Amino acid sequence: MSATRYPLAATLFISVLLSACSPRNEVIQEAVTDTDAPVETHVFKEEVKTRQALTQVALGREKAELVIQNVTLLNVFTQEWLPAQDIVIAHNRIAWVGDTGSWPGETQNSYDAKGLWAVPGFGESHKHIESSYLTPEYEAALVIPHGNTWTVEGSHEISNVVGNRNAEFWLEAERKGSTLKIFPAIGSATPPTVYESGGGYYGYNEMRDFLTYDPRVVALGEVMDWSAVINADNGGHQRIWEMIEATYDYRGVVEGHGMNLTSQTDISAFAAAGLASDHEVRLADEGIEKLRRGVFLEIKQAGMDSLFPKLLEIGLKDWSNISVTTDDRDVFATLQLGSMDYNIRSAIELGVPLGIAYQLGSYNTARHFNIDHLVGALAPGRYADVVLLSDPQTVAIERVYANGQLAADNGEYLLPIPEIEYPQWATDTMNVGRELIAADFVITAPEGRETVKAAVLEPFWFEPEFITKELPVAEDGTVKADPEAGLIKVAVVDRYHGTAAVSKMIWQNVGPKTPGSALASSQSHDLHNIWTMGNDDYAMALAANTVANMGGGWALVNDGKVVATVRLDVGGLMTARPVNEVAAEMEKLHHQADKM
């Protein structure tokens, strides 16, 4: 399998196109949801108690738990680097910040940070934790050493699996003691299109229930179906506007997805619709036009090289409507590159002023989501998320405090990982219906045909028209894959309804070349059915069955045998296992695929 043109990691995004051949379920309203999921009314009594206690610590009347002393501190409100500062911590929060030695109280512990720089814990503006392959408690162990202490989770991956349990799923790790704070943005793409149904269906009532379940639910996640937004005759039009209405009713933020919306007219319509952000900006002029119309930019690594030099060139005075974020970055890539530290470092290398670069990874995002009273700044009342740097220019992280606890030291995660027994609704999510066989993947031509005209796709094909190919029909009346000609068979297996439904088509310029080979995965954006590609029907069935039988993940078959797997048994998207164990499985999968 070629790792040069289409590396294995890129196959995560193949399924964006697979909706063209996904098993269709006409009864969208009858999508499987758990209507008995608990809906809680959160009250702020504990927050008020915490604030009352912090007030007493700030006044010096009660002891602090920790004081970080003598540090040079970034104030994101004034863009100042303040020397010789103390940070007083109690009740997981910052109680007092000011000149070293000026606080009138006593502390149980202190840490002399002379020679170090303090910046706020990094926060993601647009992140899919599912793409790391790790459940939240193990994601914490992966990213906190890189400075990430909180994230806004764009949850439409798991939402299509667990339905109304979405927010409950994301908040469980923090309830069990994880210091990675997650603020769910409820997936608008549930389901992704009017043609699909999976484990969830969200409209007005569901969005209302999420936003009243817990105040950490902050947004409607990226509204992607632009056609449904602007066309009243689109089958998804009413549903998407109901979700937007509920988000406004309960004071949430409506997140956008503005890929390929680059004209002034389209951008104006995007902003007029209330879509407050875009994480798909690639071009500098596009980014500037969106900034001018009040769209909050969530810039991924791919967009920085174009946008940031242009913003510096035009002399942008106010960077407060911009953030940096990682979006989708798996465990293997994070171990190689880093997390938000890598993105902030890249911004600095492109010339973004030092203080602003850190603001892009913290305060700007917190303000956008109306959670800047909790995170994003080293100021009283906020969570005590402190990143200590030995060199701010290179984002050299010495220590990370999360919720006032020393969570990482010189790249090593120090805190215990909570043991979470994920319930059956999160782990028993593969409902294929039966074992698949080779015959399920046969493409049969109409009787009497010697050739067929086939619609063909290839990775990253986002054009409105299919590629078409005239394909020969074999003597047995079937259409075969032809790896030598760059043609491979791709199939999508319904994992939700127990029907063993399989849709098949031909793709080009992708897939294994060696005989008897196939790759399958339940990471299949955005509905997350099982997809498989291969040059042999038996191998495709074996790969798909392997994925289903282990509760989800990846399976690679070579010469009729399974040669590599990555088990993702939580929602078919994640696993509650140590970082290095999962990374090793991914590395083996890549290594085996490279040989094919």
Burial grade of 470 (CB within 10 A; 0-12, 13-18, 19 or more)? exposed
The residue type found at 363 is Y
Estimate the crossing angle of helix 237-249 against helix 204-213, to 10 degrees: 30
Please check whether residue 355 lies inside any domain of the structure. Answer: yes
| DSSP one-letter code for 413 | E
> Considering just the CA atoms, what is the radius of gyration of the chain in Å?
25
Confidence band, pLDDT 50/70/90 cuts, at residue 37 = very low
Please tell me whether residues 340 and 470 are part of one structural domain.
no
DSSP 8-state assignment for residue 205: H
Domain co-membership, 14 together with 145: no
For residue 59, being part of any structural domain is answered with no
C-alpha 382, offset from chain centre: 24
Residue 310 belongs to some domain of the structure: yes
Could you report the per-residue pLDDT of 498-524, keeping only the tens digit for each?
999 999 999 999 988 899 999 999 999
* Terminal CA-CA length for the chain: 4
**Cβ atoms 27, 197 nearer than 8 A:** yes
Least confident of 207-211, 306-310, 469-473: 469-473
pLDDT, residue 512, reads: 87
Do 359 and 442 lie in one domain? The reply is no
Which residue range forms the structural domain that includes residue 282?
122-375
Round to whole Å and give the CA distance between 183 and 211.
Answer: 11
Contacts of 595 (CB under 8 A, 6+ apart): 1, 514, 558
> Is 65 within a domain?
no
In a domain, 519, yes or no: yes
Distance CA 344, CA 349 (A): 9
Judged by DSSP in three states, 340 sits in helix
**Whether residues 354 and 440 fall in one domain:** no
Q: How far out from the chain centre does Cα 248 lie?
A: 23
Average pLDDT over residues 321-343: 97
pLDDT value of position 10: 41
- Examine the fold and report which residue of 348, 375, 402 is the final residue of a domain before the chain moves on: 375
pLDDT per residue as tens digits for the range 519-568: 999 999 999 999 999 999 999 999 999 999 999 999 999 999 999 999 99
What is the model's pLDDT at position 43?
A: 57
Q: What is the CATH number of the domain that holds 226?
A: 3.20.20.140
- Helix, strand, coil proportions of the chain in percent (round to 5)? 35, 25, 40
pLDDT at 306 exceeding the cut of 60? yes
pLDDT, average across residues 101-121: 99
Closest by Cα among 173, 175, 189, 177 to 129: 173
Looking at the fold, whether 360 and 446 belong to one and the same domain comes out as no
d(CA 547, CA 538): 14
Q: Tell me what the mean pLDDT of segment 41-51 comes to.
A: 81
pLDDT greater than 60 at residue 34: no
HEC profile for 142-184? HHHHHCEEEEEEECHHHHHHHHHHHHHHHHHHHHCCCCCEEEE
In DSSP terms, 183 is beta-bridged to 152
One domain for residues 328 and 450: no
Query: How far apart, in whole angstroms, are the C-alpha atoms of residue 294 and residue 268?
Result: 9
Given a contact cutoff of 8 angstroms between Cβ atoms, the answer to whether 326 and 124 are in contact is yes
Same domain, 242 and 354: yes
The tokens describing 413, both together, are 């995660």
At 155, list the tokens: 């949850």
443/360 same-domain check:
no
Mark which of 354, 375, 396 sits at the end of a domain. Answer: 375
CA gap 156, 224 in Å, rounded:
11
> Do 363 and 452 share a structural domain?
no
**SS3 of 50, please?**
helix
Question: Which residues share a beta bridge with 482?
Answer: 487
> What pLDDT is recorded for position 465?
87
Residue 590 falls in which region: left (phi positive, over 0), alpha (psi -120 to 50) or beta: alpha
Question: How many C-alpha atoms does 315 have within 13 Å on its Cβ side?
Answer: 0
Residue 556 lies in a domain: yes
The pTM of the full predicted model, rounded to 2 decimals, is 0.92
404 within a domain of the structure (yes/no): no
Residue 69 has pLDDT above 90, yes or no: yes
Distance, in Å, from the CA atom of 447 to the CA atom of 473, rounded to the nearest integer, reads: 10
Using a 10 angstrom Cβ sphere, with 0-12 exposed, 13-18 middle and 19 or more buried, the burial of residue 227 is middle
Beta bridge partners of 471: 452
Distance CA(33)–CA(202), nearest Å, equals 9
Q: Give Dmax (Cα) for the chain.
A: 92
Q: Are residues 486 and 348 in the same domain?
A: no
Q: What is the dihedral of CA 135, 141, 146, 147, to 10 degrees?
A: 90
35 or 72, greater pLDDT: 72
**Number of other CB atoms surrounding residue 27 within 10 Å:** 8
Residue 137 shares a structural domain with residue 227: yes
Mean pLDDT of 76-82: 98
Give yes or no: residues 232 and 145 share one domain: yes
105, 65 Cβ separation under 8 angstroms:
no
Q: Which residue has the tokens 């990226």?
A: 222
Q: Where do the H-state alpha helices sit in 68-145?
A: 136-143
The answer for 413, left when phi > 0, alpha when psi is -120 to 50, beta otherwise, is beta
The total number of residues shown for the chain amounts to 596
How much is the mean pLDDT over the chain?
Answer: 93
Q: What is the DSSP string of 235-253?
A: TTHHHHHHHHHHHHHTT-E
The pLDDT assigned to 9 comes to 40
Q: Could you give the dihedral angle defined by the CA atoms of residues 129, 410, 365 and 136, in that order, rounded to the nearest 10 degrees?
A: 20
Domains identified in the chain, total number? 2
Query: Residue 397: CB partners within 8 Å, gap ≥ 6?
Result: 145, 146, 147, 341, 387, 388, 389, 390, 408, 411
Backbone angles phi, psi at 183, to 5 degrees: -115, 100
Residue 72 lies in a domain: no
Domain's final residue, options 349, 375, 401: 375
39 pLDDT band, cuts 50/70/90, is very low
For the chain, what percent of residues have pLDDT higher than 70?
A: 93
Q: Are 221 and 253 in contact (CB under 8 A)?
A: no
